[in-house]
Structure 1
Amino acid sequence: MRHGVDAGMFQQTAHSPSVFELHRRMGDRARQLIDFCIPCNPYFPTPEMFELLARNLESVLKFYPSDADTIAGQLARVLGLNPSTIAMSNGSTELITWMDHLWVRESIAIPIPTFGRWTDQPLETGKRVDMFPLRERDSFELNVEAYVNFIRARRSRVAVLCNPNNPDGGYLPHRQILHFMDSLADLDLVVIDESFIDFVEIERNPSVASEAAIRPNVVVLKSLGKNFGLHGIRFGYLVANPGLAAAMRKALPKWNLNSLAETIVFMLAEHGDEYHESLRLLARDRYTMGRQLAQLPELTVYSSQANFLLVRLAPDLDGTDLRDHLLSRHQILIRECGNKLGMSKQFLRLVVRPQQDVIRLIEGIRDYTRARWQQAADPPSKPVALRSIS
């Protein structure tokens, strides 16, 4: 235990502990917790939407939801997609699991670092995972041609590409993703994980979902929880041609979505303006937060089009120690990336949050560096060995 933090919370899994787990372990200290760890939209749903949910909570929790096809049909109407091209799930990780079982037979190619389930899931089921390393010297930018050549050299049968990528937030333009899909039209499956695509601002209509729906071997993955700031509901969906989408719907349980998910999906049609405003505010905060963090000499900040920023600590700083310091002294939770394939504990992923939270984060980082400097300036003296005098 360091800084009064139980390190076991962060060693049980490749992912960070839940806020619920932190509250149980930290007690009253967790009441002021600021979460810079879990990628979430802080501006959506609006307080008015939460108030409406609270008023209807009893009926939402008491009654069965509709079947998945009914909920997916409403989502398709909101998004302007053909219902036959959609399959909804209890979180995007459920879809990753079923894609592995249904369509990954031999091998899968994945750039690293990226979202951990893309490597963990096929490894757990004994598949060969061909990992294409993204280099720090290239700011973790993915070279599409090099990745395609790697896939060909390894003879991978399935390929994954996250856009924007997690944890660096790197984004590839629409035209490059189309080229990637068309270059691999002979593979068993090509997956474009667009879990964070709604946060992209440098290109209009960045998603390739509509193009995936007319290709024989492409699936686009979406995560509603990240976009809508509702991780606790656990809902996501995929877009693919009707044959692939139907195969996924057939594999999933008929009632795999809960009543809260259904309520939110049916609310979306009336709150589109509020959602788009939340994306505008988050893009503003991303720019401001990145600029402020870059002014700290201890940090290198990477460009991002997601709702988080990847930063690298100076060589003399320890990411695990900083994480524990921020949690115990400042009630701030961050994502230290030492357990991500292709990264080290010198890297942190920091979720974009409103200005008042960023100020508190910066104060916490400065407090940590001051403590390190003080420790270096005044190292603890070694105990003096006393000899007994007879």
Structure 2
Amino acid sequence: MKNLREEYYYDDLYDLITIKDCLREKKWINKNFTSTHKPKRGKPITVTLDFFTYYICGERYKRKAETINEWVNRDRARDELVESTSPPQRVICKNCSSLMNMTMKHLYDIEDNERVMFWFECLKCKKRRALFNDGQEYKSKPNFCPKCSSELSEKTTKEKEILITKISCLQCNYKTTESIDFEKDRREREKEEKKDHDLLQKYRSVYCMTEGQGQEYVSSVENMKQLIDLMKESKKKQNDPAYRKARKAKMLKISRLKIILKKSLEKEKFTNLQFGKPETDRYIAVPFTVEDTDDKREEYSSRTVCKKIIKNTLINTNWRLMSEGMTYRLGFLKGRIRGYEDEDEMANVFRTELNK
């Protein structure tokens, strides 16, 4: 018997599992939730049930293609194992020592150990043997008497569609009979198959998402995750001192910055502030020059005072004096300031300053 089935078989099987999962959860919620959480007015609670069912359907859709692919690959590998495995050679009948013919082979996967089982029959005495591909013989496990623990004797006969096994103990009076009604089993199997078919017909459109519905669910889940991440990030920022300072910082354009800096510098006799051509990369870096008109200040004092003025002026803005510092030559000072354009950049700046 082939393990690999038609594509629709796996599709039906997966959808049937989805339907049964949803119906089971719906039954559980109706029993354990809505009965104890009845609203004071209006209709019974259905929002929770609908949302929960929608979630189950969506998650089942997400895993469908991958799961079916795993099933197909598993069954294909099993068939390839059976087809490619050669039977043991020269199997001898234990009863009459004649060569036996192979009549059947199939996959034996009991105890999570997949092997190929080969069945042999003697043409002379009709005795049978079952061997695995490694030559090991299959032996059924003996049954023991529930009364005296001796090994039981079994005799099997077939009457029409019923297989009857008479079991007896040779050491005591224990006897019992077991039967397998193949016709009854067939009817029950057909009944179960019809029940599954009816479930698919009735609920497939209810619980099994189409491609469009599934993609809509995937997008909504992704959007929800992004929203949750944004909310978490927002809450984190609200409690972060660096972000609080960044929100309060003045976002100055270059024209306004020049006015403020010029005013602060001129109070301490630094004049003729000039901005050069800005460098626009990840950040905006603006070169500047300024003249120290205080003849009493030497180089060190001039650079120190000018740097302090600029830093204090920019402390609550989106601009900072760059770490390379300033150069001085004969009262002429040169440096660069950097501008930050968004809240995250400013928060990193304030975080560094707070940690100093």
Higher RCO, Cα 8 Å, sep 6+:
1
- Shared fold (TM-score greater than 0.5)? no
User: What TM-score, normalized by structure 2, do the two folds share?
Assistant: 0.22
Higher-Rg member (1/2): 2
When you count strand as a share of all residues, which structure comes out higher? 2
